[in-house]
Amino acid sequence: MDRPLRLVAENPLDQLARTLEALLVVASQPLSSAELADAAAEDAERVDMALGLLTERFAEGRSGIVLEQVAGGWAFRASREAAEACGRMFERPVERGLSQAAMETLAVVAYLGPCSRPEIARLRGVAVDSVVAGLLERGLIAEAGREEGGAVRYRTTPLFERVFGLESLSVLPRLDDLGDADEIRGRLEELAEKRPA
């Protein structure tokens, strides 16, 4: 043999996939495929194909690192089977101890945002200043311009989508689909049955 044998024919997408892998591991937030294409100086179609390759490679059950499509982009996360170990080592300050009031406010902003504090207060029937401040601090909502009257408006952040595992805000269920009167009655009956005699 005068020439070395090439045993493995490399998939032409492999190199691009490796580049995307590197970009995603450095990123601290989800990267859109357009951003990935820009950074890799490749066309979007090939990037999407390479992402498909990576999605297979970094899948739940196959790898400790999982590639997911979240918050309008692509991001690595730990596999769910490693959650317990992660939980022993890492805190989750963003979502820890979210109160009912905070969650309702978050729901208002997610569904109706951008909206101002007076608007949220009107819906919830109570002042929401401290709740909004808390959500801002957690990074779940952010300022998004002002109303004509001058009140600051808020919207949810990509971090919100990421924490709640939403691909985008459009995957939030329609408000009308969120259970009906029968369901509420059912819950009440359930409660009534549980009541100690």
Partner 1 sequence: MAVPVRELELDLEAFEGPFDLLLALVLRDELDLGEVDVAAIVLAFLERLAEREQLDLDACGEFLVLVAALLELKARALLTGEDPDLEDLDPAEAAAELARRLADYRRIKEAAAWLFERLDEESDRYFRVGPAPLAPRIERRIAPQDPNRLAATIRSLVAEPPAVSLAHLELRFPPVEQFLGRFRSLLARRNRFDFDSEVHGMTRVEQAVAFLAVLELRKGGEVELSQAAAFAPIRVQRNTETKPERNSAWTARSA
Interface residues with partner 1 (CB under 8 A) are 27-29, 38, 68, 75-78, 80, 82-83, 86-87, 90, 92, 94-95, 98, 100, 103-104, 106-108, 110-111, 121-126, 159, 162-166, 172-173, 175-176, 178-179, 184-185, 188-189, 191-192, 195
Residues in contact with 86: Cβ distance below 8 Å, sequence separation at least 6, in sequence order: 78
Shortest Å, Cβ 36 to partner 1: 12
Shortest Å, Cβ 119 to partner 1: 11
Shortest Å, Cβ 165 to partner 1: 4
Shortest Å, Cβ 86 to partner 1: 4
Q: By CB neighbour count within 10 A (0-12 exposed, 13-18 middle, 19+ buried), where does 24 fall?
A: buried
Residue (150 or 173) nearer to partner 1, CB? 173
Residue (124 or 153) nearer to partner 1, CB? 124
Residue (111 or 136) nearer to partner 1, CB? 111
Shortest Å, Cβ 4 to partner 1: 41
Shortest Å, Cβ 186 to partner 1: 11
Say which residue the tokens 């408006």 belong to.
Answer: 153
Residue (117 or 162) nearer to partner 1, CB? 162
Residue (13 or 24) nearer to partner 1, CB? 24
HEC per residue, the chain:
CCCCCCCCCCCCCHHHHHHHHHHHHHCCCCECHHHHHHHHCCCHHHHHHHHHHHHHHCCCCCCCEEEEEECCEEEEEECHHHHHHHHHHCCCCCCCCCCHHHHHHHHHHHHHCCEEHHHHHHHHCCCCHHHHHHHHHHCCEEEEEECCCCCEEEEECHHHHHHCCCCCHHHCCCHHHCCCHHHHHHHHHHHHHHCCC
Residue (35 or 144) nearer to partner 1, CB? 35
